[in-house]
Structure 1
């Protein structure tokens, strides 16, 4: 018998013996259990569920089974006659709560969008384009892998899919280029786990549903920590590649070249610089037999990065120099008392025409102030005349002046101009072609990502609505990319568009079918986990386990910093044997009630948990990312090599966790800007 089975059976025997010894059998079924006995049962239930999941029992149904049994024990200790009925009522109510939870609607839609993007091979083009674009950067393949994973993470929160896909794309390319196996495996697994934190993360949706925190604010808060972590990865790769270039050899010069189209080949004979050559062909007498319209289009594409920077700087200038809005009540005349009187009776509304008037004055607007000394009082006009508002001549308002331009803005402009001057001076035809490939592979996906996440962050749509738009956008992108792939494969044969449309439709049907199956499978798992966790949490609370944990934590008399360190350490340890779903659903309901006592924001705590669970995904012995990669890697790549490659990146994650805790505004600044 294998050692793993011996270990599993021995662990089960230890747990069973512990349960048999500590269970209060004398009072278990006679309805006379004390609070202490129930509390012991609650802690045993918590330990038993962890071991059962470690052994391999299905998490959702194990939670439901244990939850139902221990709920019955709790009710049986109070009223044995109603125990069965009350237990079944809990089961039905918790199931109905999951079905009626609007937050969970976004999960299947985001999963569907992610599976569509994955199976339509959109990431293949993006990775190869980024590989060519970063060819001159040390460790270019690893850098391209991290960037691709970060972009893919914003299109899907499916960690296993990202690691598996990048294992098929990036790992063979790295090994062929002579990369160290450990470093290549570490870069892929670390980049693939970015989907845990970067929106639209499914983990954040689940945490928001469990903790009662706004998913929109969680998404806004997770942006900067997620991309900060990706930036730390890239910085480490570049420094390590500079230090030990033999572990990550640069790309050969021949592999950096891409075939030029006929237009570029003709114009390259006149000028090696792409921008200068296009400008000469556009303004000169001849354009080497190329149509002016085509040259103009290529010229606009070449200047597109500069145009985007100019637009960003222009918006920044308008925002930073916008005049301050000063609310002034000078010159306002209180009129129309009879007209405004009916509006004042409506509770909670301000009368129109009285903006800026104090509330007390608005409520008594029909009473005149006594005339000033020396001013003769005039008799009031008739009722019809009094209803008309007075016409008061106001001096023409002077246009507010803009604020002075800050010095840092001109510094940024100067740096941008200098960088783009250097860039366009070395912008040859090869770089133009690489940029065009990057544009066609990244731009449509970027539009989809910005449309989905941007509408959520700025408040135009709920996560469920934005996820529905993203799923439809992913379907359109999949159809477009598949059609373009068939169009290019047939050599631009325009004589049979019907055949290409039919092939694209058949292929799209297969993609949609597979994506729907995987979405239904994953969504069902998450929903049943919620049902099981609801029953389990109810049983844990009925047995008094939550109260015991709270009393124990409060008896330690810890400071908020000590509690935060203890909580994150426990979550980190739990990440070794358990997946994030079990940790969020089982253990977050234990930690969250303690947060108000220590004055900890649940939003900030959720960001720390998400970053911590990324670390848990890279920590042996149960690092799921390693097993995902091992499943698609060549036979000579061992699991120990993958584990060894993940260790430096796990250290970077711990550094990011410390930075987020020391500087909480990294995660809280964006929510504070959008949701004051």
Structure 2
């Protein structure tokens, strides 16, 4: 064992984590190796293995994490149920005549999809396959089309049901139900900002998003209104099945997730898409995602256990609390740290590492923990859109048809304005915190 100051251990662990992430090794192995190496160096094998064992054991008994496989299963079943295609087609026929109409449809469809899917890869893939080709074929700017798909697809990690909220809440000692209800309006705020940006941009420069030809425009009749309403019903059913039961206090989030699974299976049966092959595919995807989450969670638990036991958490807390400018300057520093981490680390690693460190700081600064937690979650939207670690960008690039000629330059150019809009949303949520806290307070009042 080596005697090191808490400051040196902080530098060793955070610096080692950053350097090893740049090597490209899987994030779980990087986090776990830094934790193990530092623990053996500072505490020795006995204490290190005790810390790791107790952390892993606590994780295995964390009941709320059962919602992760349940929401994943629900999302995969819905993805293949056929309900989403009918909805997109109806929105396309209703709004395609507007300047930028197809991009607006994509964002609206992505917002609706976000209330059903909590897995980013699924949302972005669906939007890419259904929306990107129609936009490009109608002459849309490749950057605007790509940015709209990525921004809309990424909403699924914020708008409930969201795996991020399920992972974040237990780490911060918050209610998953309250976080889900609190995330609903910020998600709609982001969606509204995206829609406003696309509409204004295409009004100023119609060549970026031309409307569909007049001979393809169909009159909006009562029959079309009924078709649109009918295609929205699956989403309404799922929202009521999950969020409705949570808000009404009928079931906690884990049980509500199980109800959502049942509702998605029923919808797949109604649309005649349910089969044993689909059930097998959903089970395998659920196992893959759940194993990914648990693996990173276990390694991150180990990292945080060693980090906090060595006093490094106090070093970070004292550093942030001593920032000149008071609590708002300290909060701005935290938001900047989260943003920068999102460029290099996957969101789940960020959540498991920073939440145990930053949550006590939020309390010391006098912030509402629920509001502060959801501000971090909104901030993490950018982690999916900021290179080099930008999962949404890579999912779109990998799933986009090659004949469309979408380049990484097109995607990155198109996504930057939406990153700026997330910062605008953070500012608005800071000025008007009630956007986050209003619905959860209604829930508590009940």
Which TM class, normalised by the smaller chain length? over 0.9
In structure 1, the residue matched to 2:35 is: 67
Please tell me whether residue 616 in structure 1 is matched to residue 383 in structure 2: yes
Gaps of 5+ in 2: none
Superimposed CA distance per residue, residues 378-437 of structure 1 (whole angstroms, 9 cap, x where no aligned partner) = xxxxxxxxxxxxxxxxxxxxxxxxxxxxxxxxxxxxxxxxxxxxxxxxxx7x52232232
Q: Distance in 2 between matches of 1:173 and 1:556?
A: 50
Q: Distance in 2 between matches of 1:64 and 1:658?
A: 35
**2:235 counterpart (445, 453, 461):** 445
Q: Distance in 2 between matches of 1:542 and 1:642?
A: 43
In structure 2, the residue matched to 1:436 is: 226
Superimposed CA distance per residue, residues 311-369 of structure 1 (whole angstroms, 9 cap, x where no aligned partner) = xxxxxxxxxxxxxxxxxxxxxxxxxxxxxxxxxxxxxxxxxxxxxxxxxxxxxxxxxxx
Q: Distance in 2 between matches of 1:544 and 1:228?
A: 39
Please tell me whether residue 56 in structure 1 is matched to residue 56 in structure 2: no
Pick which of 654-663 and 609-618 moved more.
Answer: 609-618
Q: Distance in 1 between matches of 2:196 and 2:216?
A: 24
Contact 1:60 1:532 in 2 (8 A): yes
Q: What is the TM-score normalised by the length of structure 2?
A: 0.95
Contact 1:71 1:542 in 2 (8 A): no
SS of the residue corresponding to residue 595 of structure 1 reads: helix
In structure 2, the residue matched to 1:455 is: 245
In structure 2, the residue matched to 1:280 is: none
Gaps of 5+ in 1: 1-28, 77-82, 258-427, 484-503
In structure 2, the residue matched to 1:101 is: 62
Q: Distance in 1 between matches of 2:10 and 2:196?
A: 47
Q: What is the TM-score normalised by the length of structure 1?
A: 0.63
In structure 1, the residue matched to 2:260 is: 470
In structure 2, the residue matched to 1:592 is: 359
In structure 2, the residue matched to 1:356 is: none
Q: Which has the larger radius of gyration?
A: 1
In structure 1, the residue matched to 2:107 is: 146
Q: Distance in 1 between matches of 2:52 and 2:346?
A: 24
Q: Distance in 2 between matches of 1:445 and 1:596?
A: 37
Pick which of 120-129 and 221-230 moved more.
Answer: 120-129
Q: Tell me: CA distance 1:35–1:66, structure 2 relative to 1, closer, same or farther (3 Å).
A: closer
Please tell me whether residue 513 in structure 1 is matched to residue 280 in structure 2: yes
Q: Tell me: CA distance 1:149–1:667, structure 2 relative to 1, closer, same or farther (3 Å).
A: same
Please tell me whether residue 218 in structure 1 is matched to residue 176 in structure 2: no
**1:653 counterpart (422, 426, 429):** 422
Q: Distance in 2 between matches of 1:244 and 1:588?
A: 43
Please tell me whether residue 642 in structure 1 is matched to residue 432 in structure 2: no
Q: Distance in 1 between matches of 2:21 and 2:122?
A: 23
**1:606 counterpart (373, 383, 386):** 373
CA RMSD of aligned residues (A): 1.7
SS of the residue corresponding to residue 140 of structure 2 reads: coil
SS of the residue corresponding to residue 275 of structure 2 reads: helix
Contact 1:132 1:256 in 2 (8 A): yes
**1:250 counterpart (211, 225, 239):** 211
SS of the residue corresponding to residue 409 of structure 2 reads: helix
What's the offset of the Cα at 1:532?
Answer: 1.1
1:77-88 → structure 2 map (5 Å cutoff)? 83-84=45-46, 86-88=47-49
1:520-559 → structure 2 map (5 Å cutoff)? 520-556=287-323, 558-559=325-326
Q: Distance in 2 between matches of 1:242 and 1:554?
A: 46
In structure 2, the residue matched to 1:34 is: 3
In structure 2, the residue matched to 1:187 is: 148
In structure 2, the residue matched to 1:45 is: 13
User: What is the total number of aligned residue pairs between the two structures?
Assistant: 443
Q: Distance in 2 between matches of 1:35 and 1:627?
A: 40
SS of the residue corresponding to residue 343 of structure 2 reads: coil
Q: Distance in 1 between matches of 2:153 and 2:23?
A: 26
Q: Tell me: CA distance 1:590–1:634, structure 2 relative to 1, closer, same or farther (3 Å).
A: same
Superimposed CA distance per residue, residues 196-226 of structure 1 (whole angstroms, 9 cap, x where no aligned partner) = 2111111111110211111111111111111
Contact 1:39 1:543 in 2 (8 A): no
Superimposed CA distance per residue, residues 124-174 of structure 1 (whole angstroms, 9 cap, x where no aligned partner) = 111111111223433221111111111111101111111111111100010
Q: Higher helix proportion, which one?
A: 2
In structure 2, the residue matched to 1:263 is: none
1:297-376 → structure 2 map (5 Å cutoff)? none
Superimposed CA distance per residue, residues 580-614 of structure 1 (whole angstroms, 9 cap, x where no aligned partner) = 11111112222122122211121111111111111
What's the offset of the Cα at 1:101?
Answer: 0.6
Contact 2:159 2:183 in 1 (8 A): yes
Q: Distance in 2 between matches of 1:550 and 1:558?
A: 16
Superimposed CA distance per residue, residues 422-463 of structure 1 (whole angstroms, 9 cap, x where no aligned partner) = xxxxxx7x5223223223321123112222111112221111
Contact 2:151 2:415 in 1 (8 A): yes
What's the offset of the Cα at 1:65?
Answer: 2.9
Q: Distance in 2 between matches of 1:551 and 1:667?
A: 28
SS of the residue corresponding to residue 213 of structure 1 reads: coil
What's the offset of the Cα at 1:558?
Answer: 4.4
Q: Distance in 1 between matches of 2:391 and 2:234?
A: 31
Superimposed CA distance per residue, residues 231-257 of structure 1 (whole angstroms, 9 cap, x where no aligned partner) = 111122222222211221111233233
Contact 1:110 1:200 in 2 (8 A): yes
Contact 1:54 1:578 in 2 (8 A): no
What's the offset of the Cα at 1:73?
Answer: 2.8
Q: Distance in 2 between matches of 1:647 and 1:65?
A: 34
Q: Distance in 1 between matches of 2:297 and 2:224?
A: 47
Contact 1:219 1:457 in 2 (8 A): no
In structure 2, the residue matched to 1:235 is: 196
What's the offset of the Cα at 1:557?
Answer: 5.0
